[in-house]
Amino acid sequence: MPLDPAQRHQIEQVAITAALEAERLATCDDAIALFREIADLDCDDDGDVIIGMDADGHNDLMSRITIFLAANDQ
């Protein structure tokens, strides 16, 4: 039995909503992974995270956070 246009539209809207929610949850999972890495870093006496850099002044974690924020800035 074919769907009427209203039913088809409703199904499409539900599918779009589900896809957006899946994307949002994946983004949250990525953010949580970054936060866990930050939480595992060394802290100073005040509890502030110490983010070190290599000899060339690069920091992989900070680069990944920057890329994550740029990709998810909506």
Q: What is the pLDDT of residue 17?
A: 96
What would the pLDDT profile of 11-25 be if each residue is shown by its tens digit? 999 999 999 999 999
Angle between helical axes of 5-39 and 60-72 (0-180°, round to 10):
160
Quote the pTM value: 0.57
Residues 6+ apart with CB under 8 A from 50: 41, 42, 43, 44
54's tokens: 């290599």
Backbone angles phi, psi at 49, to 5 degrees: -70, 135
Q: What is the pLDDT of residue 74?
A: 67
Q: What is the pLDDT of residue 13?
A: 96
Q: Could you tell me which residue, 25 or 54, shows the higher pLDDT?
A: 25
